[in-house]
Structure formats: structure tokens, C-alpha cells
Amino acid sequence: MTTHATRPAEARETTEGTVYTVTGGDWDEFAAAVESADDERIVVNMGPQHPSTHGVLRLILEIDGETVTEARAGIGYLHTGIEKNLEYRTWSQGPTFVTRMDYLTPFFNEAAYCLGVEKLLGITDDIPDRASVIRVLLMELNRLSSHFVAIATGGMELGATTVMIYGFRDRELCLDIFELITGLRMNHAYIRPGGLAQDLPPGAVDALREFVKTMRKNLPEYDKLCTGNPVFKARLKDVGYLDLAGALALGATGPILRSAGLPHDLRKSDPYCGYETYDFEVPTTDTCDSYGRFLLRLEEMRQSLRIVEQCIDRLEPGPVMVADKKIAWPAQLALGPDGLGNSLDHIKNIMGTSMEALIHHFKLVTEGFRVPAGQVYTAVESAKGELGVHMVSDGGTRPYRVHFRDPSFTNLQSMAAMCEGGMVADVIVAVASIDPVMGGVDR
């Protein structure tokens, strides 16, 4: 296979000592043989358990020296069959599943799902204003928390652990708000078909105002830490390059598409939950690279804060669930000594005085409501891009088919286009700039 030199390299004596000349002879042949021998390629398996692959993502890299010649992604390690499971549960039980898909963007999953159910039911216009405002509020807080993780883990993978500490510190503040409002840090199942599981708790508005104030102080720290940092810039600039044609062909949305200069945002182009009434901007960069995506995420967080502030100002007292008692669960939640549950008054009412209310409660909870047959597609602009739901009902009390078009799944396809021809170390940066979450990719 490889040709070895059949004669020793020529030697000549100089004042510095003996100099061997390895050019000439069959050296050229040797070099050519090494170059063309294809079993010299190295295939590196990165993951599925690797701290830099964002969960259980397996990257199969074919490398030549430090250069990646071919990159592929192996996924499916976190497949949980959520779409299949949804077909075996009522429409109201759906949020409990979908909130666990992309576990960093639970409110987007829930909102997309619920908007789909509401569109199938034809009650989109009946959703109370307060419910929509709180949905927007939570989605924007979720955009903040998701971007914090994207920046934090991206920084950690570069070795910038301070960025990680900062990112997770601020994400924790977002999760504190989630916990205050929904009772859970993650997997909330708070947005329900028809509205919300419950209203904001007392003190939520004050906590939100405090949160916005803290964030206004904390967000510039990322600028100070990263934006002008020469090491950070050297690692991110021109890495993970994907231009507009590539992004559209590969279906990449969210920060990847906007980093290529197209201000496409479903909140502007196909508004839902009343986004058309909020004042915010869709930032773009035209660098098409990881650095641009980092800057975008920072700017999007500032815009999200603006929306959060507008939401706080708009919160008017009112119901947070549709008035239709055939859809809204009859539960009157209250905090008891053993945690959140049906209020004692409500239980006293259905158990003691109103058999019809008891029957209604029982039917609605065990059997669920019926949704007219048909199919819809609803999409929200998640922190990662277009999160679409294709939902089919056969007129029954359970979804006939729910398919999630998760942005992480689609965006991850662009990994190969971003990485091939680059350095191995840049694969990490490119994947971090895609911000895939395997819970969403594999569902």
C-alpha cells in the first residue's frame, strides 16, 4: 500500500553537521500514496455521552488531521414516544406530555399544542385576554431562560466557565419566576386548552417587576464578558457559517435564519396570542456565523424583556379560562395544607349539594371533551425557531395524531453544512450555536 523509501536519504556534510535531503527519490510517490490511501481517514464518534454535544447527540466526524471532512449526526437516543403517547390521553392531558419535549422551552411546547387544540375547537377568539397576556409573558420569560442556557452551555464548551456560571445564575432567576407562577421549575403543564391551569399567584407582579430590574442589570454583563472579548470572538467569528440560501433550503429557522439577515419571526409574520399588539423588534445580523447568533440571542433577550414589561402593564383582572364549561375544567384550585388542589368549597359543592356538577366534573376529567374532526397546523416562534404542530382529530376525546415540528430537529440538520471543512474544535462551537435540545429533537 504505502511505498517505503528503498534507499536512504542523501546526506551531505555542512558546517552545521550532516544534512539529509528527503526530497527526491520516491518521496513524492510516498506522499501521494499516503494522501490517496483512504484507510488513513479517522472517524471520530463524539457522543452520545459527551459533555459538549448537548445531551445525547452523537456526532460521527470523519477527520483528516484537524479538519472535518464529513460530519453526520446520529439522533434518537432520547426518543420517548410522546407523539404516540398523546393519542392515548385526553386533549387536556396533552400539555403534561408536550412540556417535556424540548425541556428548555416548555411554555412554547404547551402554547403551540394548546393553540392547535383551540383552533380545532374553533375557540381561538374566546380565549380571555388575561390568559393570552400571561401566555405571552411566560413565553418571553422562557425565551430568556432558553437563551441563557444556550449562551451558558456554549460558553462552557469553549472553556469559558464564567459565562456558564452567569448564564445559569440568570436562568435560575427565570425558573424562580416559573416556580412562583406554575409551582414547578420545569415541566409545568400550565398552559391548557382554553386558557391556563390557574391565575397568577399573589405577589407575582411584584416579583416580575423585580426580575425585570435585575435582568436590566445582568444582561449588560454578557456584553462586558463576551461581546468584545478577543478570545471569544476568535472562537466564534466565521465559525458555523450558514448563509440565507442554505438556511432556507435546510429549513433552519430562529436565530440561525435571522443570523443570515432575514428578519423572519412568526410573532411578526403570523401573530398569535396577540403578539401584533406588542412593541418589539426582530433583530438580525448578516454575519451568518456563531458570533452573530450569540449577538442575536442577547438582543432577543432585551426585546423579550421589553415584551415582559408590556405584559406586566397589561395585566387586567379577569378570567384565565374560557367560559365554556364543557371545556374548562370545573376545578377551583386552592392551596391547601397538603399542596395545591381542588378547593374545599368546590369539593363541598360537588360532593354535597350538586350531583350534576359532580357528574359533569367526573365526565370532563375522565372522558374529556370532544374535538370536531379535522386537522390544523399551528406554529409559534420558539426560542429556537418555528415550533409547529400538526394536529388531527377524529372527533373523539383524544388526539388522533399530533406531530411536532421541533425547531431543534430541523436546525440540527444544518450541522453538517456548518462543520464540514472546518476544524474539529469548531464543531463544538457550531453545534452550540444551533442550540439543539435532544428532548425536542427526539421527542
Measured from the CB of residue 325, what is the shortest distance to another protein in angstroms? 20
Q: 262 or 312: whose CB is closer to another protein?
A: 262
Alpha carbons 133 and 208: distance in angstroms, whole number:
14
Q: What are the C-alpha distances in Å from 220 to residues 156, 281, 408, 422? A: 19, 18, 27, 31
How would DSSP label each residue in 7-59? Answer: SPPEEEEETTEEEEE-SSTTHHHHHHHHHH-GGG-EEEEE-SS-TTSSSS-EE
Phi, psi of 134 (to 5 degrees): -70, -35
Q: 221 or 394: whose CB is closer to another protein?
A: 394
Measured from the CB of residue 130, what is the shortest distance to another protein in angstroms? 25
Q: 63 or 392: whose CB is closer to another protein?
A: 392
Q: 110 or 265: whose CB is closer to another protein?
A: 265
400, three cell numbers: 388522533
Query: CA 101, 107, 110, 111 torsion: positive or negative?
Result: negative
Measured from the CB of residue 114, what is the shortest distance to another protein in angstroms? 15
**Nearest residue to 436 via CA among 98, 78, 63:** 78
Q: What are the C-alpha distances in Å from 27 to residues 33, 40, 41, 260, 303? A: 10, 18, 21, 46, 61
Q: 45 or 269: whose CB is closer to another protein?
A: 269
Measured from the CB of residue 117, what is the shortest distance to another protein in angstroms? 12
Q: 183 or 246: whose CB is closer to another protein?
A: 246
Q: Which residue is associated with the grid cell 413565553?
A: 139
74, three cell numbers: 446520529
User: What are the counts of helices (DSSP H) followed by strands (DSSP E) for the chain?
Assistant: 18, 12
133, three cell numbers: 397576556
Measured from the CB of residue 317, what is the shortest distance to another protein in angstroms? 31
Measured from the CB of residue 100, what is the shortest distance to another protein in angstroms? 16
Alpha carbons 423 and 28: distance in angstroms, whole number:
27
How would DSSP label each residue in 328-379? Answer: S----EEEETTEEEE-HHHHHIIIII-HHHHHHHHHHHHT-----SEEEEEE
Cβ neighbors of 169 (< 8 A, separation 6 or more) are: 218
Q: 86 or 432: whose CB is closer to another protein?
A: 86
Q: 312 or 416: whose CB is closer to another protein?
A: 416
Measured from the CB of residue 77, what is the shortest distance to another protein in angstroms? 9
Chain residues that interact with another protein, rule: CB under 8 A:
75-76, 79, 81, 83-85, 87-88, 119-120, 122, 248-253, 262, 264, 269-270, 367, 373-377, 379, 386, 388, 390, 392, 394-396, 398, 400-401, 403, 405, 409-410, 412-413, 442
Q: 27 or 103: whose CB is closer to another protein?
A: 103
Q: 189 or 438: whose CB is closer to another protein?
A: 438
Q: 106 or 399: whose CB is closer to another protein?
A: 399
Cβ neighbors of 253 (< 8 A, separation 6 or more) are: 247, 264, 384, 385, 386, 407, 410, 411
Alpha carbons 89 and 69: distance in angstroms, whole number:
46
Alpha carbons 410 and 428: distance in angstroms, whole number:
18
Alpha carbons 352 and 36: distance in angstroms, whole number:
85
How crowded is residue 355: how many other Cβ atoms within 10 Å of its Cβ? 10
Alpha carbons 231 and 214: distance in angstroms, whole number:
27
**Nearest residue to 77 via CA among 58, 59, 60, 61:** 58
Q: 75 or 160: whose CB is closer to another protein?
A: 75
By the 10 Å C-beta count (0-12 exposed, 13-18 middle, 19+ buried), 35 is classed as exposed
